[in-house]
Amino acid sequence: MRRMLFAPLLCLLALFALPQVHAQAPHLLRAPSISETQIAFRYADDIWLVSRDGGAARRLTSTSNITEGPYFSPDGNTIAYSANTGGNTDIYTISATGGAPKRITYRPGGNFVTGWTPDGHDLLMQSMQNAVRVYFQLYRVHADGSGLPERLPLPSAWYGTLSPDGSHLAYNPWLQWQEESWKRYRGGQTQPVWIVDLKTLDRVKIPRENSNDRYPLWLGDSVYFLSDRNGPTTLFRYDVKSKEVKQLVENHGFELKTLGGRGNTLVYEQFGTIHLYDLTGGADHLVNISLDGDLPSLVPHLAKINSSEIQNADISPTGVRAVFEAHGDIFTVPAEKGDVRNLTNSSGSAERSPAWSPDGKRIAYFSDATGEYKLYLRDQDGLSAPKVIDLGPDPTYYYSPAWSPDSKRIVFSDKRLNLWYVNVDPALGPAKPIKVDTDLREGFGPSGFSASFSPDSQWILYARSLPSLEDAAFLYSIATGKSTQITDGMSNVTNPVFDKNGKYLYFTASTDIGPAIDGFGLGSLNRTTTANVYIAVLSKDEKSPIPPESDDEKSKADDDKKPAPGDAAKSDEKKDAAKDSDKKDDKDKDKKDKPTPPTKIDLDGIQQRILALPIPARNYVTLVAGKEGVILLGEGNAAANPSAGNGIMRSVWRFTLETRKTEDVLHDSTAIATSFDGEKALYMKGSGWFIAKVSDLNPGAADGTPGKGLNLDGMNAKIDPRAEWRQMYAESWRIEREFFYDPGFHGLNLKKISDKYAPYLDGLSCRNDLTYLQKEMLGEITVGHMFIGGPHTDNDTPKSGLLGADYAVDHDRYKFAHIVNGGNWNPKMYSPLTQPGVNVHEGDYLLAVNGTPLHATDNLYAAFEGLAGKQTTITVGSNPEGSGSRDVLVVPVSSEGEMRFHAWIEENIRRTNELSNGQIAYVYLPNTAGEGFDSFNRYFFAQTDKKAVIVDERYNQGGDIADYVIDVLKRTPMLNYESRQGLHTTEPTGAIFGPKAMLINQNAGSGGDAMPWLFRQAKLGPLVGTRTWGGLVGIGGYPTLLDGGSITAPRTALYGLHGEFEIENHGVAPDVEVEDDPKLVAAGHDPQLEKAVSILLDELKQNPPPQFVTPPYPNYHQNDGLGGK
């Protein structure tokens, strides 16, 4: 088997006519806004205008990539929107009559427009620019782009609308992570609408019972909003004076998506259609809009396929070509000579997992060209039609095809944990899949089988899970149809492969992986795991391949047997002649079909014929066979910590059985496979692919990449966007059908819901329309972690720079109001202005950037455009006039997130110490993955001298299950240590035995839901804050969509010990509810943290941690006269 093992557009528009908008299919017209006479809306990633009476619409922009808006200015003359042009989302404005857009924002990070101020002077913007975690705040931005964004005095805010006089704001206080893809959501992020006085910060909450209330719009004395409180999202009104809430529109169809309005008219989107609502008469009507325009995004075209799109790879039998799966097509690429071949050229289907037959004639792969995935066999030149093999009446996803050495059978696995083989030679009978075995554990990736055939093609070797969750090696006999476990199950066996000679097999096995094998819990991280490499002698008649060796002196008799010099020369001549003869004979033999000898396997006693190879134990993640007696071993990171590696094999080791020598031959590769003849290797390093002789692998190569780099420039594919979108639509539902944990899909009939949304396919105008459609339709399943992503696009635009500071305007200059203290010992927390020797202080003025003067009428962030990571000279001074100013060399960063986050943690530690007089520790966990694991270890153990602890998981982004954190927090005293000097210590030493509390909020979810749930179950202390997100399912390991997009289907759900799904779509409620009151936060308070400190101080008074006093030392000499002082 040569399966590739991974350690975990150029458009030719002139060739085609531009498609026109088709009026017959429903279109997705989005986010309407109205002026006195017109409606602006988003379609095909651009802004269009139409009369309020409907009719023909015209395109206003040709920007594309518009992500938010449009929003008409109060006078109707200007339209604001956000667009991603150059890798950053920024705000733009454009005249309603057309013309060139004006860029308003330049600060890196998302800048999303949400509307205008009533006077039209400013825009409202959502941004995370000063946020310490993942939450948004609202800002006012000057409509001409000058000056600084002014943050509204709210802890967080997602969407808002100002009262007509600008004194109050109706707003959603937080973002909902899955607004479009989780219908009927009732977790902790359900969105209320709050009304706040912007001077006093007093607030009023629009009444609700855990509904999702969105898009508030303030007109007159009413706040209009969309809500799902009575079923599908529809239109409601809140009377500011009477505080009455009234439903205005009955809705039994698609959800209402956005809301706008002016005067006596509201405008809203009902999933792709635009409606007007007359406030005077209560009439609601659909606006009929016709679209007439070219849509370049629909043009079929030839596209270059980037190496980043490669999903699977294999190497030809002798290594002259590689075969790749990329963008749903199968390509072969020459090692040196020839052209790249696209064997499939299919926009309307996805081809996956290519495998080259050992005889070199055919390539096997899976394709859904007929509607469901089947096995295809295609000639390697791609010139003839493929042979199609149906894999059964209950199709699914299939993985890892591997040919038998005689090219007559293929073994493969499926999503349902089965291992199969199929005869592809008609002489062997019908091509019907035959089941080999079924695995016992579903993880978050493809089927865990690593299967291969014996050299005589009569045995299948593989590893699978045992009930203990550790893996064992198995041999399946084609002749008997029976499978036999050949390892004892007391170690975790991986990567079993046959030697080319058929006498041995190799595998790796670990006896220390047990604590790390869970994979779902934090307790499995940072566990140093190693594996040894073993060889099994298959026949009981075969001798050991590693017999004892001994160095011995030769006797004189041996020397006497040496030939005379002349005789030696004659002997050498005979040997050379014999070699030449052998070479000729070998060539003659190669011309004939040489029968493969049977692979003799004696299953009885095979465990006694398993031997350890003299190879150092390491964390081997890959083992592939080369030629006879040669294997390659990929070494991963020693610790099972996802933050430590990115799937790169630190080394590839070559072991030669004859010499028993292990050599380090390749560094920092991410994939490796060997040719069938064992002579060549295909490997990936960085973004490049290489073919090298196995014997030539050597990290000392000039550029560290031995062999020939493959030229992938010729990987081109014919792209028909509509055909691709239809395939990805079907793929979306197939992924849900096969991966979703509940076979009943939460009561949803997948065919009915697919049929409901299918009519929109022919009306899609761009790739973002497909994503929008996928979110809407998959949201019907009602589940967390339903994430839909479009294709990744590379962007080389230089990023704008930031200095790690907050600014104020003073005397027409920008002044450093606050400088963020990062953690300069960590590159992620690099703070440009706090570097040694910079000496810029709060209160100094920023006068110029790279010699260009800077004034408050200029856009501050525009001055740093493209300067991230580049040496930049700033001119600073202690006064706005510039006298005594000086130039300072700094290196701006592209993001301030990590440094602001670090500063926030340090401030919380300081505040907790201050409020508790040093008695309470503060520990923050940003997630329950590698970063959270590291953060807990850093902050908890360094504060075990405290009496109590607050664990803060607000804004926790989840990851794994925090079993490790709970286990540490649960530690109780076991014994004490007494010694002559030093501190008195208690075992366990890494513990805080006093009271505990955990801070939670609506922006903690997934693993951030599970951690407080487990904290409560362990009765460790109170939960303080607000209810968590409520998304406790697991995702991972899905097929990538044809164009690189992504779809999730929660494949694991977590339920409690009482048999209920307690947390999903509910969240974890606090024991003590404390909201972030805007008034308190604006005054410098952290209400949740302060409440937790207060609770623990009270608890310390009532139940202080145990104090242990050393007992009297024993005295055995009181009465024997030997005692004394």
State how far the Cα of 456 lies from the Cα of 453, in Å rounded to an integer: 8
DSSP state of 757: H
Residue 299 main-chain phi, psi, to 5 deg: -70, 125
DSSP state of 354: E
Catalytic site residue 336? no
What is the C-alpha to C-alpha distance for residues 189 and 130, in angstroms, rounded to an integer? Answer: 21
Residue 68 phi, psi dihedral angles, 5° rounding: -140, 150
Of 479, 416, 493, residue with least CA distance to 450: 493
Angle subtended at Cα 1103 by Cα 1102 and Cα 1106, rounded to the nearest 5 degrees: 145
> What are the two backbone dihedrals, phi and then psi, of residue 760, each rounded to the nearest 5 degrees?
-75, -15
Q: How buried is residue 719: exposed, middle or buried, by Cβ count under 10 Å (0-12/13-18/19+)?
A: buried
What token pair was written down for 939? 């902050």
DSSP codes joined into one string, 88-138:
SEEEEEEETT----EE----SS-EEEEEE-TTSSEEEEEE-TT-SSS--EE
- Looking only at the bridges linking them, the beta strands covering 289-291 and 55-59 are parallel
Q: Which is the catalytic residue, given 450, 780, 1006, 1075? A: 1006
Phi/psi of residue 383, nearest 5 degrees: -85, -20
Q: Which pair of tokens denotes residue 440?
A: 């016992």
Whose CA is closest to 655, among 492, 503, 545? 545
Q: Please say if 544 is a catalytic residue.
A: no
57, 291 contact by CB (below 8 A):
yes
Secondary structure in 3-state letters for 783-837:
CCCCCEECCCCCCCCCCCCECCEEEEEECCEEEEEEECCCCCCCHHHCCHHHCCC
> What is the residue type of 210?
N
Q: What's at 886, amino acid-wise?
A: R
- Looking from the CA of 951 toward its CB, the CA atoms found within 13 Å total 35
Give yes or no for a contact between 316 and 322, defined as CB atoms under 8 angstroms apart.
yes
Interatomic CA distance for residues 121 and 119, integer angstroms: 5
List the catalytic residue out of 1064, 1066, 1075, 1099. Answer: 1064
Catalytic residue (choose from 27, 327, 785, 902): 785
SS3 939: helix
739, 1046 Cβ separation under 8 angstroms: no
Give the Cα separation of 471 and 465 in Å (integer).
4
Q: How many CA atoms lie within 13 A of 296 on its CB side?
A: 10
Give the burial string for 968-1000 (b: 16+ CB within 10 Å, else e). Answer: bbebeeeeeeeeeeeeeebeeeebbbbbbbbbb
Q: What is the CA radius of gyration of the chain?
A: 34
Q: How far is CA 897 from CA 82, 108, 430, 804, 1086, in A?
A: 22, 11, 61, 9, 20
Write the burial class of residue 906 (CB in 10 Å: 0-12 exposed, 13-18 middle, 19+ buried): middle
Asked if 242 is an active-site residue, the reply is no
Alpha-carbon span 1004 to 998, nearest angstrom: 12
Instruction: Copy the structure tokens of residue 499.
Output: 């030697």
| DSSP helix, strand, coil percent of the chain (3-state; round to 5) | 15, 35, 50
Q: 898 by DSSP, 3-state: which?
A: helix
Active site residues: 785, 1006, 1064
